[in-house]
Amino acid sequence: MKKQVIALLTAAMMVGAMAGCGSGGADATTAAADTTAATTTAAETTTAEDTKAADTEAEDGAETTAAEAGADGKVLVMATNAEFPPYEYHDGGDIVGIDVEVAEAIAEKLGMTLEVEDIAFDSIIPELESGKADIGVAGMTVNEDRLKNVDFTDPYTTASQVIIVKEDSDIAGPDDLKGKYIGVQLGTTGDIYASDYEADGSTIERYNKGFEAVQAMQQGKIDAVVIDQEPAKVFVSQNEGIKILDEALTVEEYAIAIKKGNTELLDQVNGALGELKESGELQAIIDKYISAE
């Protein structure tokens, strides 16, 4: 309990400091107000002595490092590919979505300012490796291959691949993908999954954006699209005449990618993510974009 209070107090202090900077816009201010309110309740249950002890302890902890970073106005650069609703997408001139809000909440907790960099999905890991970006948040599935090149935080949600077809398609399940033209987004787990079908005579068409694959299918260029479930739901809701097949093809976990060996940042982000899970803030962000079935 004490640890939790320390974390909350430190986070609130940092968020409070951040609120004055005005970097995060209206949302950040709201979040700051919420956190402060929650903390007051937690602090009330703590005696003055406890609080003092907490302060001393916190000075040696990771939170202090983050607070110092905040004092310097340190920027946390998030690499993403904003073609993946509801996780990241363009809304007018803004890049919004679950991942953006989660990253913003993490940056706030670390006393940092979030900067979002929109690049090709398959450039995200190289960008982390070269140090140009700090975190890759892009509905990115944890898998063995990627773990060779980057570290992942604890997962923040689960996901699966699904098949989108035209409403009148003769494809009713994964077996029917054999010999067909399958569209995917380049370098994704959908690409990896569909590529197995090449041995069955299927042709894989790789697009830079998932939506381009959907468009190609509507133009009759390909027979099916394999893509993550939530973006699939968005694309199907926005376009006539296409549907998602019931059978989910994979079970996956999304996590935040960080440069291999940067355990300091990994620990900090995991700490912040843990707090967001515990407070219910993470679920609230997800619920804002994904309605329960």
Q: Which residues bind ligand GLN (CB under 6 A)?
A: 81, 84, 121, 138-141, 185, 188-189, 228
Tell whether the torsion through CA atoms of 258, 11, 108 and 14 is positive or negative: negative
Which residue's CB is nearer to ligand GLN, number 70 or number 190? 190
CB of 159 to ligand GLN, least distance (A): 6
Of 159, 112, 145, nearest in space to 257 by CA: 145
- Report the residue closest to ligand GLN, judged by CB: 188
Minimum CB–partner distance for residue 236 and ligand GLN (Å) = 16
**What phi, psi does 170 have (nearest 5°)?**
-90, 0
Q: Decide whether 46 or 189 has the Cβ nearer to ligand GLN.
A: 189
By the 8 A CB rule, do 155 and 142 touch? yes
Residue 208 CB, nearest approach to ligand GLN (Å): 10
Which is closer to ligand GLN, CB of 138 or CB of 285? 138
Shortest CB 149 distance to ligand GLN, Å: 13
In whole angstroms, how close is the CB of 183 to ligand GLN at the nearest point?
13
Give the residue among 130, 136, 131 at the shortest CA–CA distance from 116. 136
- Of 64 and 250, which CB lies nearer to ligand GLN in the complex structure? 250
CA nearest neighbour of 8 among 55, 48, 49: 55
DSSP assignment of 231-258: HHHHHHHHSTTEEE-S-----EEE--EE
Contact (Cβ atoms closer than 8 angstroms) between residue 58 and residue 109? no
For the four alpha carbons of 33, 35, 36 and 42, in that order, the dihedral sign comes to positive
Rounded distance between C-alpha atoms, residue 120 and residue 83, angstroms: 9
Question: d(Cα 53, Cα 58) in Å, to the nearest integer?
Answer: 9
Decide whether 189 or 268 has the Cβ nearer to ligand GLN: 189
Phi and psi dihedrals of 35, rounded to 5? Answer: -60, -40
Tell the smallest beta-carbon distance from residue 247 to ligand GLN (Å): 18
Phi first, then psi: what are they for 200, rounded to 5°? -100, 15
Nearest residue (CB) to ligand GLN, 74 versus 209:
209
Q: What is the nearest approach in angstroms of ligand GLN to the Cβ of residue 252? A: 6
Instruction: Tell the smallest beta-carbon distance from residue 185 to ligand GLN (Å).
Output: 5
Longest dimension (CA), the chain: 71
- For residue 216, the number of C-alpha atoms closer than 13 Å in the C-beta half-sphere is 21
Question: Which residue number, 46 or 141, has a Cβ lying nearer to ligand GLN?
Answer: 141
Q: Which is nearer to ligand GLN, 98 or 138 (CB)?
A: 138
